[in-house]
Structure 1
Amino acid sequence: MDRFEPNLRIPGPTALPPTVREAGARQMINHRGPEFAAMLARILDGMKPYFGTTNDVAMLTTAGTGGLEAAVVNVLSPGDRVLGVSIGSFGDRFAKIARTYGADVTTIDVDWGQAADPAVVRAALERGPGYRAVLLTHNETSTGVMNPIAELASAVREVAPDTLILVDSVSGLGAVPFEMDAWGVDIVVTGSQKA
């Protein structure tokens, strides 16, 4: 790294390599034309391995919070029961977004600095059936704790196989493996400016 380059020591945005900065300096192309359509299709197809999915990947021009909002408003309706599993400030934010859009959110508040326990999530689902969705945070930026998404998703599927699993992996996906299909995750949100 050039000594005059900024050295960002924050969770995001991450520093861009010179090749990426150079690509951003190219002339604009028609965003409705065939060149853009081909480029977007290539990018979305190339993203599938990072998500661990063979299904479609959608790209939004928003911050991570906007992606979480999009996930919530597209699969939840006012009054839907939701279990929010919070291990820090971004888990709290995910639950708050669901509440803002009218979901009936019950939260499991895990002590900051700790990952969620799949047995606790399983027990909460057994005590209160009828949840439409479970909200999970993959990597909690505020504490640096990573949740065991595979084990948490398995616990959800054992007790409530039809419950949707929504995962905030804004600061995780791309930095650590994620297997959306194998783990049974329905929606995962990430951000290209992190990880």
Structure 2
Amino acid sequence: MYENILRHPGPTPIPKRVELAMNHNIMSHRSAEFVALYHETINKVKPIFGTKEDVLLLPSGGTAALEAAAVNTVAKGEDVVVITVGAFGDYFVSICERYGFNVHKLEKSWGEACTAQDLAHFLVGLPPIKAVFMTYNETSTGILNPVDELAKVVHEHTDALVIVDGVSCIGGVEAKMDDWGIDILVTGSQKSMMLPPGLSFVALNQRAWQVIEANQTEAYYLHLLSYREWAKQGMTPNTPTVTLIYGLREVCKLIEEEGGIAQSAARHTLMRDMTRAAMKALNIPLLAEDAYASPTITAIKAPQGIEISTLLAHLKQHYHIDFAGGLGSLQGHIFRFGHMGYCFPSDVLQAVSLIEAALQDLHYTFTPGAGVIAAQEVFLAAHK
């Protein structure tokens, strides 16, 4: 049985070095050895978030971290703004509504980004807002919101916290949490962080902690004040994912060896540009505009005359490469090419060549090799 090449937007491939690190002998999460591992790893993680503040590790998927960010900062009946540009922005809406927050939803069409002007206009006339929730990288559409600009608008017009979902991009884009005025930044392990699912991250500044301390949350497992107190000791309040923390330390070393998060972000931007150039050369439409296109995932529309489901099934069955389909209203209309984490320009060239092979099999009219050549030209131009 052949192993499929995973080009999903998560989970993503895991480097062999990280796999080997996770094979380390298990140890007690209350031992001195674990405390040393915890402190070392957290110090290595902070530059990836662009912060000198607290970064907490939760033994959970990213959704739990999003929920923790919400339930620890906002009380029932308080007003919040949620910016949604796709399926994962809608996650924040659902979480906030479940806890009884008064949600003001700034909704953009799927495939569009939220601009600073959109947000400034939306905030006019609203009651006092406790928090503004936004998605940095919208996985369902391949949109990268300008969270630096959005955070500035929030601080200019309100006293609200800026809470950002960075699940599908942290590790693959630059994040300057402290400089941009982001109060809480969340991500998960299984995307650009090059780990299996099961570990999430919540980075918080002192402004966020002041709000959390004043908020009487009902959370128990997701009680962030408890995580903060245990973190001072180099531990977590509940049993952590010890093996993933071993792996996380190795991921941080890989990013350091590459040249830091700026270089990792540059690699992801290059892969985005290669992918988009290839699709344009093949006359296959893209969902997002160039200005707001994600460096970690590209949403690609159906080639003329070919069903998305047929193309994806053919690619997986005959060429052993696995892409993701669309979500929600985009199901059957797009497929999603994940180029994040443990992915390199050579992987993009491989994937494009296999897409071309499948297109020829399905009798799509194009110049063979056009996509590969376009992607290769972008790559070569970046290395001149």
TM-score by length of 1: 0.95
Mapping for residues 69-108 of structure 1, pairs under 5 Å:
69-108=67-106
Is 1:180 aligned to 2:167, yes or no? no
Q: Give the Cα separation in 2 of the matches to 1:17 and 1:139.
A: 23
Contact 2:84 2:108 in 1 (8 A): yes
The 4+ residue runs of structure 1 with deviation greater than 2 A are none
Partner of 1:19: 17
**Aligned mate of 2:58, from 53, 57, 60:** 60
The counterpart of 1:116, out of the listed 104, 114, 121, is: 114
- SS class of match (1:59): strand
What residue ranges of structure 1 are gaps of 5+ in the alignment? Answer: none
Aligned-residue sequence identity (percent) comes to 43
Shift of 1:129: 3.5
Displacement of 1:61: 1.0
In structure 2, C-alpha distance between the alignment counterparts of 1:26 and 1:117, rounded to whole Å: 45
Among residues 27, 30, 34, which one is paired with 1:36 in the alignment? 34
Instruction: Flag structure 2 segments of 5+ consecutive residues without an equivalent.
Output: 193-384
CA distance in 2, matches of 1:178, 1:149: 9
Q: For 2:175 and 2:190, how far apart are their aligned partners in 1?
A: 17
Computing the radius of gyration over CA atoms, which structure comes out larger, 1 or 2? 2
Displacement of 1:192 in angstroms is 1.6
Q: Which amino acid aligns with 1:193?
A: Q
Find the aligned partners of 1:18 and 1:60 in 2 and give their Cα distance. Answer: 24
SS in 1 for 2:109: coil
Cα drift, residue 27 of structure 1 = 1.2
Distance 1:193 1:148 in 2: 23
Letter matched to residue 30 of structure 2? R
**Equivalent position of 2:231 in the other structure:** none
- Aligned match of 1:169: 166
Q: Residues of 1 paired with 2:49 and 2:127: CA distance?
A: 29
Q: CA separation in 2, counterparts of 1:118 and 1:19?
A: 41
Equivalent-residue separation in structure 1 for 2:190 and 2:38 (angstroms): 18
Q: How well do the aligned residues superpose, as a CA RMSD in angstroms?
A: 1.3
TM-aligned CA deviation for residue 126 of structure 1? 2.1
Q: Which residue of 2 aligns with 1:10?
A: 8
Q: Which of the numbers 123, 133, 136 marks the counterpart of 2:134?
A: 136
Which residue of 182, 187, 191 maps to 2:188?
191
For 1:192, give the aligned amino acid: S
Task: Tell me, yes or no, if the aligned pair for 2:79 and 2:127 is still in contact at 8 Å.
Answer: no
1:50 counterpart = 2:48: yes
Matched AA of 1:188: L
Letter in 2 for 1:41: H
Q: 1:108 aligns to what SS in structure 2?
A: strand
When normalised by structure 2's length, the TM-score is 0.49
In structure 2, how many angstroms separate the alpha carbons of the residues matched to 1:41 and 1:66?
Answer: 23
